[in-house]
Amino acid sequence: MGNALEDRWALMQGATSKMNCLVCAGEAKDLTPQNFDGHVIGCPSCGNYEVAGGAWDRLQKASQPERAAALAKAASLKGFARWPTIKNICF
């Protein structure tokens, strides 16, 4: 989940618009920094996650269970990254 420091960093980067989470459809924040190839989403239910640019269309077209599974797989592959990144390999 996002915290005040991460939200402040996003504000400094100029990315704070509201959106719907692509996984749970709840209210979320677009935390994408400028010049980032993909999207960074902050969701109170799903937590913060990235969607690689190449996986964006595929994630949008996926069913809700497929989206949740992709985020779960991204979380299992996270390693030392700050948050999970959904890539095509997650489908």
CA 22 to each of CA 5, 8, 12, 55: distance values in angstroms, whole numbers, following the listed order: 23, 22, 24, 12
Q: Which long-range contacts (CB under 8 A, 24 or more apart) does 73-78 make?
A: 74/49, 75/49
The pTM score is: 0.78
Looking at residue 80, its pLDDT comes to: 81
* pLDDT (tens digit per residue) in 41-79: 999 999 999 999 999 999 999 999 999 999 999 999 988
Give tens-digit pLDDT for 11-48.
555 556 899 999 999 999 999 988 889 999 999 999 99
DSSP 22: T
